[in-house]
């Protein structure tokens, strides 16, 4: 049964939701947007969820060890971006921002690929920022993007790779990004699509459903509507194959949040070669490229 909720839908603004998955999540009765059904503060997220452990033993087993395979996925994204730029006769990337840059693996690639690009990465976790700064010599800051002063000059591109589902206030982030983009600036987003076949079949067991780390669950329809509401125009949405190390796949399936199985399963994990990876397409992870709609006032 749909119930009136104090909070309004991020996408359409109504406040009538249906609780789903044993009340773990709630679904907007009007547009279908799905979000978490709990209250959590920004300080709690920063202090208990987004710590160094997030990259080493919680969401990821060892993010740094997976650098090679993570950068394979970023190379695919860059190939798509360059294709869209060429197809539409757009100017190249020049002043870019990555929100949720982690260890700077994307920043390292993009600064090598585009020699004249100015790059800034922001993240709220200290250890990855230290790594990106000291090991990769990247321009990065430990700061919440909402607290970051507006840049001296507008960005040509803003990236949120596997970030928007984590954000407590994604609408505010996207609006700030819109305001800080150049005329015809682009935003690039990757996130799960909860409307696809696999998540609909798996329900609450879908691998992407794990609040409070993942707070919001978009579909192609709801993310497109949210971006349009702010003033963006969709250029491309695709569902590319994702490369994963076999160690990370095994960890996610048999070790993550499964304390009872750790002793047995860890022995098997140790036998998996470090560099072995596979490319899989479950068609439930979408990449979105949108452009700041011309003549839309900031």
Q: How does pLDDT run across 89-99, given as a tens digit for each residue? A: 999 999 999 99
Strand spans (E) along 131-252: 140-142, 155-161, 181-192, 216-217, 232-238, 242-245
Rg of the chain taking only CA atoms, in angstroms: 19
Give yes or no for a contact between 142 and 125, defined as CB atoms under 8 angstroms apart: yes
CA neighbor of 146 nearest in space, from 182, 122, 120: 122
At residue 150, the pLDDT reads 87
pLDDT at 255 over 70: no
CA 15/CA 6 separation, integer angstroms: 7
Average pLDDT over residues 92-120: 96
| CB-based burial, 203-235: b 16+ in 10 Å, e otherwise | eeebebbebeebbbbbbbebbbbbbeebbbeeb
DSSP string, 13-49: ---EEEEETTTTEEEETTT--EEE-S---HHHIIIII
CA 3/CA 170 separation, integer angstroms: 23
At residue 298, the pLDDT reads 46
CA 245/CA 72 separation, integer angstroms: 11
- Going along the chain from its start, the domains and CATH numbers come out as 40-241+281-292 (3.40.50.150)
Q: Are strands 242-245 and 285-292 parallel, antiparallel or unpaired?
A: unpaired
CA 184/CA 290 separation, integer angstroms: 9
Give yes or no for a contact between 265 and 258, defined as CB atoms under 8 angstroms apart: yes
Q: What does the pLDDT look like over 210-231, one tens digit per residue? A: 888 899 999 999 999 999 999 9
- Angle subtended by helix axes 67-88 and 105-113, to nearest 10: 40
Q: Around Cβ 176, how many Cβ atoms within 10 Å?
A: 18
Q: Around Cβ 173, how many Cβ atoms within 10 Å?
A: 20
Q: Are strands 3-4 and 181-192 parallel, antiparallel or unpaired?
A: unpaired
At residue 244, the pLDDT reads 84
Give yes or no for a contact between 191 and 165, defined as CB atoms under 8 angstroms apart: yes
Q: What does the pLDDT look like over 156-212, one tens digit per residue? A: 999 999 999 999 999 999 999 999 999 999 999 999 999 999 999 999 999 899 888
Give yes or no for a contact between 25 and 35, defined as CB atoms under 8 angstroms apart: yes
CA 136/CA 71 separation, integer angstroms: 14
At residue 223, the pLDDT reads 98
At residue 33, the pLDDT reads 98
175-122-108-236 Cα dihedral, nearest 10 degrees: -20
Sign of CA dihedral 197, 198, 204, 208: negative
Of 198 and 46, the one with more pLDDT: 198
At residue 247, the pLDDT reads 73
**pTM to 2 decimal places:** 0.91
Average pLDDT over residues 124-135: 96
Q: Residue 27 has which token pair?
A: 């679904």
Q: Residue 285 has which token pair?
A: 């992870």
Give yes or no for a contact between 155 and 182, defined as CB atoms under 8 angstroms apart: yes
Q: Given the structure tokens 């709690």, which residue do they identify?
A: 44
At residue 295, the pLDDT reads 65
């Amino acid at each position: 049964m749909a119930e009136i909720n104090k909070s309004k839908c991020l996408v359409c603004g109504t406040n009538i939701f249906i609780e789903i998955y044993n009340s773990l999540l709630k679904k907007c009765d009007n547009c279908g947007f799905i979000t978490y059904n709990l209250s959590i503060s920004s300080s709690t997220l920063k202090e208990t969820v987004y710590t160094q452990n997030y990259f080493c033993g919680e969401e990821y087993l060892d993010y740094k060890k997976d650098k090679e395979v993570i950068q394979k996925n970023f190379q695919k994204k860059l190939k798509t971006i360059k294709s869209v730029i060429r197809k539409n006769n757009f100017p190249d990337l020049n002043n870019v921002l990555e929100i949720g840059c982690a260890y700077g693996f994307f920043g390292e690639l993009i600064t090598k690929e585009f020699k004249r690009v100015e790059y800034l990465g922001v993240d709220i976790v200290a250890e990855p920022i230290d790594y990106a700064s000291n090991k990769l010599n990247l321009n990065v800051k430990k700061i919440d993007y909402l607290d970051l002063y507006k840049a001296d000059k507008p960005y040509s591109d803003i990236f949120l790779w596997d970030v928007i589902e984590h954000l407590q206030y994604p609408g505010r982030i996207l609006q700030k990004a819109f305001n800080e983009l150049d005329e015809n600036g682009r935003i690039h987003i990757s996130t799960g699509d909860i409307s696809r076949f696999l998540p609909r079949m798996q329900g609450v067991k879908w691998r992407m459903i794990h609040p409070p780390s993942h707070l919001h669950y978009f579909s192609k329809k709801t993310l497109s509507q949210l971006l349009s509401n702010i003033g963006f125009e969709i250029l491309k949405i695709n569902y590319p194959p994702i490369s994963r190390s076999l160690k990370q796949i095994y960890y996610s399936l048999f070790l993550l949040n499964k304390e009872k199985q750790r002793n047995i399963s860890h022995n098997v994990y140790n036998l998996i070669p470090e560099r072995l990876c596979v490319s899989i397409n479950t068609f439930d992870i979408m990449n979105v490229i949108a452009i700041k709609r011309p003549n839309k006032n900031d």
